[in-house]
Amino acid sequence: MINIAIDGPAGAGKSTIAKRVAAEKNYIYVDTGAMYRAMALYLYRNGIDADDSAAISDRCGEPDITIEYRNGEQVVLLNGENVNGFLRTPQVSDMASRSSVNPDVRAKLLELQQELARRENVVMDGRDIGTVVLPNAQVKIFLTASAEVRARRRYLENIEKGLPADLGEITAQIKERDERDMNRPVAPLKQADDAVLVDTSDLTIEEVVEKILAIIDEKI
Ligand code: DC
């Protein structure tokens, strides 16, 4: 199976890019962040405190999280319910960032991700795909952009969706999440030694997709 790993911080454009690359190559796109978000939604709905790691460890084995593809779109099922529409709220984002530091949460989702990559050709995006989940991926990309550029993208996205948007607040949130994602003891956000660094700050989506397709063609 062909495995392509795309890692990087929030807002670097991973999901947009990974989706496009997967479509071009006819591989399956796996958004691992959505799995962490589904777990977070479960914890949030059950009133679990994001700082209570014992409770998170205790309860994270309970939910059944599966991924299905319907008309080419990834659908995340939490105990059978399509929860795609609930995964992007600020509450779930915050809970996902906090609960994803928990080793029991990571172990559970790791298994699910590796199982998918064994069965299918995948473009998988996340934080630890090239380093931990798919260390033998044929192609590894580390996608990044400056915090300011990433914040501006999220800000414009929110405005487009009619969501509240405060550039200063979004920048602060992005920096806080980077800090947490990079400094956690288990599977921190880190460029794999054999990953190719792609800085998207001054590139269009089209240019980034082209660049990655060229890297894939060179390696496979
Ligand atoms: O990519 P995202 O914003 O949807 O990810 C949500 C959270 O999940 C983010 O705070 C980091 C975490 N995450 C992770 O720890 N490991 C992954 N492979 C993917 C996401």
Q: What pLDDT digit, counting tens, does each position of 5-28 carry?
A: 999 998 899 999 999 999 999 999
Domains of the chain: 3-219 (3.40.50.300)
- Residue whose Cα lies nearest atom 11 of ligand 1: it is 97
> How far apart are alpha carbons 5 and 109 in whole angstroms?
16
Dihedral (CA of 149, 150, 155, 160) sign: positive
In the reported structure, the alpha carbon of residue 211 is separated from the centroid of ligand 1 by a whole-number distance in angstroms of: 24
Does the beta carbon of 184 sit less than 6 angstroms from any atom of ligand 1? no
pTM of the model: 0.91
In the reported structure, the alpha carbon of residue 96 is separated from the centroid of ligand 1 by a whole-number distance in angstroms of: 7
Does the beta carbon of 100 sit less than 6 angstroms from any atom of ligand 1? yes
> How far apart are alpha carbons 26 and 115 in whole angstroms?
19
Nearest of 103, 114, 130, 99 to residue 8 by alpha carbon: 130
> How far apart are alpha carbons 144 and 128 in whole angstroms?
14
If pLDDT is split at 50, 70 and 90, which confidence band does 184 have? confident
Q: In testing the pocket of ligand 1, which one of 127, 142, 186 has its CB within 8 Å of the most ligand atoms?
A: 127
Does 115 or 71 have the greater pLDDT score? Answer: 115
